[in-house]
């Protein structure tokens, strides 16, 4: 990380810390000497994601639902609010919990940050742009979101969380930031969470057809979790309120991704086309001008390299 945008945090609270991105944040923070309290209700996170951290000096796990009030120590100087179902399989299974986490959970995390005088960073998402009519998407684009569609429980929870974070900063002067994450992938994803990368890898390793929705021409921009974590911590160490896009502008079609994963796994799998989900975005690509200029951040892991590493992780996990 750029030295100007690093900070020696004393004690960080990571809500959703046993989830995919949250667990990588816990690991990175502990690695730089920050004590970490990981708060997770395990509705979508897992003990195994933080098993390697248990017993490490400065790490504490608290099983709690952030939609209920929780307190942090007065020595806390950073609150990273990452609690939320984030994959289609999860937010469609837990629609009300997703909305509660984005509203009540965000409120409680903000209150904890305000009480401790801590910096607060909200994990938002590229989903706030919906099925975008602007491409690539910059932070000043308001989005094209269906407020009553099947994806709305996640989209609107994050949009509301952004509004609440902004209101908190304006009303109480709380030090807040917002990061909009684009299609993060890497180790600790679940094979059945409904996202394209783990789904395709699981299917390819099993020799099953890769299920591409629609005609496969819809695009996503894949950012390796190591790059995402660097971007999040750069935003946390800055005074930027955001929102700021954290993602990789290297755009790929879903059909192209399927063929790349077949190649990387050496699988004999083919492709099977299935119905495209309602409100599935046709394009997704971040404009990272702000992150480059304000945070001196940009992704370093090329999608091909990151996907190869992710395939290796899935292979090792399967073998174990």
How far apart are alpha carbons 182 and 247 in whole angstroms?
5
- Which H or E run includes 37? strand 35-40
DSSP state of 75: T
SS3 60: strand
pLDDT in the model for residue 69: 82
DSSP state of 215: T
Q: Is the pLDDT of residue 27 over 70?
A: yes
pLDDT in the model for residue 6: 63
Phi, psi angles (nearest 5°) of residue 205: -70, -25
Helix pair 254-265, 303-319: axis angle to 10 deg? 50
Closest by CA position to 40, among listed 27, 31, 29, 50: 50
How far apart are alpha carbons 89 and 196 in whole angstroms?
11
Backbone torsion region of residue 143, taken as left when φ is above 0, otherwise alpha when ψ lies between -120 and 50, otherwise beta: left
Helix pair 152-172, 106-116: axis angle to 10 deg? 30
Q: What would the pLDDT profile of 40-96 be if each residue is shown by its tens digit? A: 999 999 999 999 999 999 999 999 999 998 777 779 999 999 999 999 999 999 999
Contact between residue 123 and residue 181 where contact means Cβ atoms under 8 Å apart: yes
How far apart are alpha carbons 169 and 174 in whole angstroms?
5
Q: What would the pLDDT profile of 230-282 be if each residue is shown by its tens digit? A: 999 999 999 999 899 999 999 999 999 999 999 999 999 999 999 999 989 99
**Per-chain mean pLDDT for the chain:** 95
Closest by CA position to 35, among listed 118, 122, 109: 118
Q: Is the pLDDT of residue 9 over 80?
A: yes
Contacts of 148 (CB under 8 A, 6+ apart): none
Q: Is the pLDDT of residue 183 over 60?
A: yes
Q: What would the pLDDT profile of 184-242 be if each residue is shown by its tens digit? A: 999 999 999 889 999 999 999 999 999 999 999 999 999 999 999 999 999 999 999 98
Higher pLDDT, residue 23 or 7: 23
SS3 93: helix
154 is known as an active-site residue: yes
Whole-prediction pTM: 0.95
Q: What domains appear along the chain, each with residue ranges and CATH number?
A: 8-182+224-247+280-300 (3.40.50.720)
Q: Is the pLDDT of residue 149 over 80?
A: yes
Backbone torsion region of residue 207, taken as left when φ is above 0, otherwise alpha when ψ lies between -120 and 50, otherwise beta: left
How far apart are alpha carbons 71 and 86 in whole angstroms?
24
Q: What would the pLDDT profile of 281-310 be if each residue is shown by its tens digit? A: 999 999 999 999 999 999 999 999 999 999
Q: Which of 91, 129, 141, 154 is catalytic?
A: 154
């Amino acid at each position: 990380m750029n030295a100007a945008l690093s900070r020696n945090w004393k004690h960080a609270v990571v809500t959703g810390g046993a989830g995919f991105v949250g667990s990588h944040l816990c690991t990175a923070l502990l690695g730089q000497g920050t004590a970490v309290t990981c708060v997770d209700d395990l509705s979508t996170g897992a003990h195994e994601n933080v098993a390697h951290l248990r017993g490490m000096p400065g790490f504490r796990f608290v099983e709690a639902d952030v939609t209920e009030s929780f307190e942090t120590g007065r020595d806390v100087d950073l609150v990273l609010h990452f609690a939320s179902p984030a994959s289609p399989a999860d937010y469609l299974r837990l629609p009300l919990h997703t909305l509660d986490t984005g509203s009540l959970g965000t409120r409680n995390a903000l209150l904890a940050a305000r009480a401790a005088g801590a910096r607060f960073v909200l994990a938002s998402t590229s989903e706030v742009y919906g099925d975008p009519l602007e491409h690539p998407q910059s932070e000043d684009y308001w989005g094209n979101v269906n407020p009553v569609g099947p994806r709305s429980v996640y989209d609107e929870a994050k949009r509301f969380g952004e509004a609440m974070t902004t209101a908190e900063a304006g009303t109480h002067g709380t030090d807040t930031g917002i990061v909009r994450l684009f299609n993060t992938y890497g180790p600790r994803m679940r094979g059945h969470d409904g996202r394209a990368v783990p789904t395709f890898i699981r299917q390819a390793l099993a020799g099953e057809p890769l299920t591409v929705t629609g005609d496969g021409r819809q695009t996503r921009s894949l950012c390796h979790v190591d790059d995402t974590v660097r971007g999040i911590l750069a935003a946390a160490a800055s005074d930027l309120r955001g929102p700021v896009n954290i993602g990789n502008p290297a755009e790929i079609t879903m059909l192209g991704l399927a063929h790349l994963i077949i190649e990387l796994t050496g699988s004999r799998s083919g492709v099977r086309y299935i119905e495209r989900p309602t409100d599935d975005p046709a394009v997704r690509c971040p404009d990272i001008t702000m992150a480059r200029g304000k945070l001196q951040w940009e992704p370093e892991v090329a999608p091909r390299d990151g996907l190869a590493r992710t395939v290796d992780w899935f292979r090792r996990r399967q073998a174990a």
